Structure 1
Amino acid sequence: MEWTGARYADKPTVEVSTWIQASADRVWSIVSDIGRMPEMSTELQSVEWLDGATGPRLGGKFVGRSRHESLGEWSTTSQVVEFEPQRVFAWAVGDVTHPSAIWRFRLSPKDGGTELAEWMQMGPGRSGLSEAIDRMPDKEQKIVFVRLREFERNIAQTLAQIKKMAEA
């Protein structure tokens, strides 16, 4: 059977959500504090606002340093592309018009708590994954599939930790 997964140029996405027994304000205070994200991630090692910023705002930039056993270590600069307090916080990695990824948290009031979804899109801009695809173009769909599953697991872990913090 032939592999029929997504290609990187398709800008594949993954989304995971959870319900949190806490107000959107409480959940927002955690998801919008990018300095806390490395403690919830196996990949992200550190994050720092740039240009004198001390918190999120539309157009704000930050640098993230990451590490992955197969991809090595790297740093990226991201820019906040959506910012609506207590509702949505999203950033594009690399070039805003041609990002290597887009990440988004979306908060919605639900059943006396908050539904929190984390979504990410790969591509279309080049990333470390592009180098792996360049080396093994015949395995592109499998590479993309495996990386999406990694992101899905990591997002689920991040949301579980945000839930735990918000409900504490």
Structure 2
Amino acid sequence: MSATETFRVEAATAVTADPATVFAYVSDLSRSAEWSPECRGGRWTSGEPAAVGSVFTAVNHRDPDVVAWAPVARGEWTTECEVVESSPPRVFRWAMRDSGGRAQESVWSFTVAPEADGSRLTHSFWMGELTEGMRKITAGMSEDEVRAFLDEWAEKIHGDMRQTLDRIKTHLEIPTTHS
């Protein structure tokens, strides 16, 4: 990891479910279409699901109006990510991979902490050095344009995280019925 921090974004919520249940749900990236505004799901392409070193290939979709002035991916595309930490029931982290299959300093995570009524779920994103994709997006931009883009991107990510947490909370707090 480098000493550079491009940005860090985080959001949290209380969930009335025990930490093991929350962790099992959020570490199953194949279910990410249920909560993510961009990820439409995907599949584990190597390793055991949710194990360190395992690779998940995600299918994503982005609307045309997201940071509309910047040359970001639009429509459908795929990404690979690699699990870099899996410590049930507390921490699950995955890093985006570059085109050569190397983990980049683009790390998403869920952390789960016990609370009196269940769990505190925190969703975080950290970027150190710009990723391969971000370097392509910002190539040719002035310093001010890069800063504006990164600020808007961090805002977009924070909004996506809030939606993600709301959807996870709703899913995990659905009352179960017994016959």
Q: TM-score w.r.t. structure 1 length?
A: 0.85
Q: Report the counterpart of residue 160 of structure 1 in structure 2.
A: 166
Q: Secondary structure at the match of 1:42?
A: coil
Q: Write out aligned runs for 1:1-150 (5 A).
A: 10-51=5-46, 53=48, 55-68=49-62, 69=64, 70-72=72-74, 73-94=76-97, 99-138=104-143, 139-150=145-156
Are residues 92 and 52 of structure 1, via their aligned partners in 2, closer, same or farther at CA, if it must alter by over 3 Å?
closer
Indicate the larger mover: 149-158 or 63-72: 63-72
Report the CA distance between 1:93 and its aligned residue: 0.7
Q: Which runs of 5+ in 1 are unaligned?
A: 1-8
Q: Report the counterpart of residue 6 of structure 1 in structure 2.
A: none
Runs of 4+ with >4 A deviation: 95-98
Report the CA distance between 1:37 and its aligned residue: 0.7
Pairs aligned (count): 159
Structure having the higher helix fraction is 1
Q: Which runs of 5+ in 2 are unaligned?
A: 65-71, 175-179
Q: Distance in 2 between matches of 1:22 and 1:46?
A: 23
RMSD: 2.0
Amino acid at match of 1:35: S
Amino acid at match of 1:164: T
Q: Distance in 1 between matches of 2:46 and 2:102?
A: 20
